[in-house]
Amino acid sequence: MPRKPEIKNVLVIGSGPVVVGQAAEFDYAGSQACLSLREEGIRVVLLNSNPATIQTDRSIADRIYIEPMTADTIEAIIDQENIDAILPTMGGQTALNLAVELDRRGIIKGKKVQFLGTDIRSIKTAEDRRKFHALVKSLGEPIPDSEELDRTNFRDRIANLQFFPVILRTSFSLGGLSGSIISSKVELLRIAESYFSDYGDGTLEVEKSIEGLKELEYEIVRDNAGNCIVICNMENLDPMGVHTGESIVVTPSQTLSDVQYHFLRDSAIKIIGAIGIRGACNIQFALNPETDEYYVVEVNPRTSRSSALASKASGYPIARIATKIAVGYNLTEIKNPITKDTSAAFEPSLDYVTVKIPRWPFDKFAVERRIGVQMKSIGEVMGIGRTFEEAMMKAIASLDTPESSRIRLFLPDDKIRDLLTKSTDLRLYAIFEALFRHYEVEEIAALSKFDPYFINKINNVVRELESLDMGRIPENLKEFKKLGISDSQISEFTKVGETKITRYRIDNGILPSYKAIDTCSGEFEAETPYLYSTYEDEGDFEKTPEVKGKVMVIGSGPNRISQGLEFDYGSVKAVQTLSKKGYTTIMLNSNPETVSTDFDVSDYLYFEPVTLEHVSNVIVREKPKGLIIQFSGQTGQNLASKLSELFGEKIILGTRPSDIDEIENRSIFAERLKSLGIKQPDFVSVANENEVEGKVPLISLPVIVRSSFIIGGRAMDIVYSYEDLKTRVKELFRERPGYPILISRYVEGAQEIDVDFVSDSARTAISGISLHIEEAGTHSGDATMIMGPDIISDGLFRKIKDIVDLFATNFSLVGVSNLQLAVRDDEIFVIELNARSSRSLPFVSKATGTDWVSVAISAMLGDSISEPDASPKSYFVKIPIFPFNRFSDLDIILGPEMKSTGEAMSEASTKTEALIKAAMIMNPRFSLDHPALVSVNDNDKPLVGSICHLLHDAGVKIYATPGTSEFLDDLGVPNETVYRLDDIREPKMSRMIKEDKLSMILNTPTMHSGSIKDGFRIRRMAVQRGMPIITNVRLADAVVRSVASKESLVYREIGEYAMGEQRNEYQKGKRAVS
């Protein structure tokens, strides 16, 4: 059927900031959807509050709204942009929930706007657990027994429940957020009582747990005529009981019989058809492979995390094809964009194996490492090979963790057995270790519930590694390569340097061949070179001659805390700029979630680990003019010196590796600052823990401790005592041997400033200056930042410009850089310089309306910078987004080590309005309609007085803990005392939180032991209930002051803010939060 002619203006709802369970995969899906619509001549309007994503770049959509993700925002956009259709299936659970709310409020019907793709009725059927169960049962398909509980029946139904253990679920949840496995009626009753006391009108579903069975997924596309194709099926190595987003996943399935594959496929197609899916979806099954008994687990009626994985694994652009279906086409009418010859109705055929492994944040968070039905991973990697072993080992190498090279866990036997039994991020390595200790495969399978097939495959790798000799490169090196064993892993086992092994391979011609992913196992020629390396087969993908020369862009690998979407934005913009300048572009990355690994972003896509080995292999093959590493985060920075050792410094475009080394080495950089006369906090550098005793007393406490070559404040702490300092330094040298540690005075009460700039080593242009609302000491990635026309004085700007110019000339900075400063009493102290892209570069690019990546690329290619310094015309706030609801044992207090997973952006023509929108994004429940609970330390009391005066004047009742209450009494601020959790007096803080009648909680930490414990429990209770809580008084002052103003809100296209156009009065009189 032809495209729907009435569709002219489509609103695409994005997924908002990156959170656990909803990450870069929706940046990829939404970007594909926008481009697919524009191919049809449809005007695309995008709503997404995330500035880090390439999706909110002018190259993706016609009109871009970086505004709060609310139904009110959408209603305004519908009117302002003449929207006639909305696409809600490319923005994850956020977009689906908004679509359901729009439908419930009658906005869609009232505005005569249609939803594209799967209709709301079908979405509700798939997302509502009760309706979904009923439908599946009506089709005669097996589904686990379940019961729905509400506040009126939960006691009786739990008493009569016949099946345990159970999995607890709520409807419309994200990444298994509501799921937990309950083993007894007593435990279930306790949780239900707590839930219904907090959420009286909610419902809970208890479902028979099928933990331990094999989990399978089918990724399906269905069109308007009912044609259904399976893109691929995926097998989880981890058994049921581990969320599929947390599981190691192989495509295609390896252990299913042909019969099993087809009866699950038939079941999937039947269920998807009955729901009425139009577009892409994912269905999950649990299977007992011994008996063929299976259960339907769930359906995601949208593109999902698995869709991105399936797209990259198969080469089939699921989101792009699903969007074509949404506007009316059927599969037979759509061309496969990879082959450009075959129909999109052909099911992909795979002649290779892919393995996905999640990337968890346990290197950043000292929390329990257990994984289960709730997601905790931040990102993922994918390895591609001709065999399972090759694909798995490439995925492990891509993770960029200590275990990626070490493989082994040198732990006692009882600990290894415990790790085999429990689901943690270390279970895979525990299997390796058990095989090194010659455990039987059957025993490991029984403990881990991994299929013996996979354990035997891992054993093949272990037996090969066992043959390595210390101090020698193996003569049969190619045999190791066929199993995917990396140079880094061989180096770890032989103690021969990694660079030496890589050089040996190159000199002896031990190099991989490259194969294309083409969706058809080579039956038709692929027009787009989407390549992976293998040592298993001979034969190579034929290269086409370049026009002007090749430039290679290195991606940033898996998303993780401190290194996320912001760097993929830079990579994609770099490729776009190079293409416009006539260069042949090469992208290398290992992340299946990102836009940079889309098949048509670059001329050549190498889906490979971002490691010395794999980057070197591609350099030897492609012989590029140069490499760009400035958009690969710390991963690229750490490769710079090794690559220059192999290929010379000129291979790196931009700042030279030798200059990067001087900047990254904390002690050398500190000495260079001293020689330049640039102020920095007093410091000492220590090369080993023995130097601490003699050097540290020279600096007054508190101090900041920093290791070298890090990102995201990893290995960074504020320390308040000499004993703690000695302990922390010892830990850092153990974690990062050989790297010097800088110990510098913490400048208390200072204001921190982020400066992004581009330079050509002689000239500079400041891209953006962002002021942290919190005082210095909060990591820049976790700070709430603001840009605007009067954020800093002209005098301070000139001082900053002078420092930037000094750095550019003395460190020969070429390309993009980031500078962090602390300012106190008009004194500027340099905290850190990064000769690479920062997390804030996309934010300042969107705020200023300037493509700063393009300016930087021109400088790297030898052009002079002529761009003027940025001068923002409106106010822009960068808001960090945290994963605290996923980690129950993690404190939400912020410091020098980064904790946020993503960011959002608010903007307005006034600072007040921008901060009101920021408050809405921080927590949609933020208002001044209910009482506030205040409990702060002594240092914060002077400022909390003015905050509480504001709250009182706004009509907010104030509850305060005894010390804070006494302080407020002295100021004459009316308040009521509340008591600590263990105090016998009433009212208690815990009751105030449980009753859910608070507008906000302001709680700052204190060093008193009882208060520390109470503060942690208060903060955790607030997070678990989704209650607004602020832990910094400066941020609280800015937010409360703005919200109390009751300034009206308008929603505008981002370009209007960047150009400084006067606000229109579309929403005059509408209040944000009051």
Q: Average pLDDT for residues 522-533, to the nearest whole number?
A: 74
Q: How far apart are the first and last CA of the chain?
A: 49
In this predicted model, which residue has the larger pLDDT, 21 or 459?
Answer: 459
Say whether pLDDT at 199 is over 70. no
Closest-CA residue to 612 (of 584, 591, 632): 632
**Beta carbons of 585 and 579 less than 8 angstroms apart:** yes
* pLDDT of the residue at 693: 73
In this predicted model, which residue has the larger pLDDT, 688 or 528?
Answer: 688
Give the ranges where 277-317 is alpha helix by DSSP (H): 305-314
Backbone angles phi, psi at 280, to 5 degrees: -105, 150
Backbone angles phi, psi at 415, to 5 degrees: -70, -40
Q: Which domains does the chain have, with CATH numbers?
A: 9-116 (3.40.50.20), 145-208 (3.30.1490.20), 214-350 (3.30.470.20), 407-453 (no CATH), 467-650 (3.40.50.20), 682-745 (3.30.1490.20), 751-907 (3.30.470.20), 927-1027 (3.40.50.1380)
Please report, for residues 399, 664, 810, the alpha-carbon distance to residue 761 in angstroms, rounded to integers and kept in the order given: 34, 18, 8
Hey, is 442 helix, strand or coil? helix
In this predicted model, which residue has the larger pLDDT, 368 or 32?
Answer: 32
In this predicted model, which residue has the larger pLDDT, 48 or 21?
Answer: 48
Q: Average pLDDT for residues 370-382, to the nearest whole number?
A: 91
pLDDT grade for 691, boundaries at 50, 70 and 90: confident
Backbone angles phi, psi at 522, to 5 degrees: 80, 5
Q: Average pLDDT for residues 11-19, to the nearest whole number?
A: 95
**Beta carbons of 182 and 168 less than 8 angstroms apart:** yes
* pLDDT of the residue at 723: 79
- pTM value? 0.92
Tokens coding 920? 């809405």
Hey, is 785 helix, strand or coil? strand
pLDDT grade for 198, boundaries at 50, 70 and 90: low
Tokens coding 929? 């309609």
> What is the total residue count of the chain?
1074
Q: Are strands 85-87 and 114-115 parallel, antiparallel or unpaired?
A: parallel
Residue 915: HSE in the Cβ half-sphere, 13 Å Cα cutoff: 23
Q: Average pLDDT for residues 961-966, to the nearest whole number?
A: 94
pLDDT tens profile 703-726: 888 776 665 445 567 788 877 888
Q: Are strands 293-300 and 976-977 parallel, antiparallel or unpaired?
A: unpaired
Closest-CA residue to 747 (of 640, 667, 646, 822): 822
pLDDT grade for 304, boundaries at 50, 70 and 90: confident
Say whether pLDDT at 641 is over 90. yes
Closest-CA residue to 318 (of 336, 342, 341): 336
Q: Average pLDDT for residues 12-16, to the nearest whole number?
A: 96
* pLDDT of the residue at 1010: 45
pLDDT tens profile 214-232: 999 999 999 999 999 999 9
Q: Average pLDDT for residues 608-619, to the nearest whole number?
A: 98
* pLDDT of the residue at 742: 80
Q: Are strands 279-288 and 293-300 parallel, antiparallel or unpaired?
A: antiparallel
pLDDT tens profile 872-928: 999 999 999 999 988 888 888 888 889 999 999 999 999 999 999 999 999 998 989
Residue with tokens 């603001």: 786
In this predicted model, which residue has the larger pLDDT, 203 or 976?
Answer: 976
Tokens coding 17? 């900031």
Counting residues of the chain whose pLDDT is more than 70, the rounded percentage is 94
* pLDDT of the residue at 1071: 31
Q: Are strands 228-236 and 9-13 parallel, antiparallel or unpaired?
A: unpaired
- Paired strand residues for 606: 531, 588
* pLDDT of the residue at 490: 98
Alpha carbons 430 and 415: distance in angstroms, whole number = 9
The DSSP element (H or E) to which 946 belongs, if any, is helix 941-953
Tokens coding 359? 């990337």
Q: Average pLDDT for residues 82-98, to the nearest whole number?
A: 93
pLDDT tens profile 279-290: 999 999 999 999
Say whether pLDDT at 696 is over 80. no
Lowest mean pLDDT segment, chosen from 4-13, 24-33, 238-247, 514-523: 514-523
561 residue type, one letter: I
pLDDT tens profile 1023-1073: 888 899 999 999 999 999 999 998 999 999 999 998 876 544 333 333 333
Say whether pLDDT at 1021 is over 70. yes
Closest-CA residue to 29 (of 43, 48, 42): 48
In this predicted model, which residue has the larger pLDDT, 305 or 795?
Answer: 795
- Paired strand residues for 353: 385
pLDDT tens profile 121-147: 998 899 888 899 999 999 999 999 888
In this predicted model, which residue has the larger pLDDT, 163 or 973?
Answer: 973
**Beta carbons of 551 and 578 less than 8 angstroms apart:** yes
In this predicted model, which residue has the larger pLDDT, 27 or 395?
Answer: 395
Say whether pLDDT at 569 is over 70. yes
Mean pLDDT is highest, among 482-496, 531-545, 1009-1023, for: 482-496
Q: DSSP letters along 201-259, please?
A: T--EEEEE--TTSEEEEEEEEE-TT--EEEEEEEEESSPTTS-GGGS-EEES-SS--HH
Lowest mean pLDDT segment, chosen from 86-95, 465-474, 614-623: 86-95
Q: Average pLDDT for residues 82-93, to the nearest whole number?
A: 94
**Beta carbons of 564 and 593 less than 8 angstroms apart:** no
* pLDDT of the residue at 1072: 34
CB-count exposure of residue 836 (10 Å: 0-12, 13-18, 19+): buried
Alpha carbons 194 and 923: distance in angstroms, whole number = 22
**Beta carbons of 233 and 264 less than 8 angstroms apart:** yes
Residue 628: CB atoms within 10 A of its CB come to 29
Alpha carbons 287 and 444: distance in angstroms, whole number = 20
Hey, is 534 helix, strand or coil? strand
Tokens coding 302? 């949208």
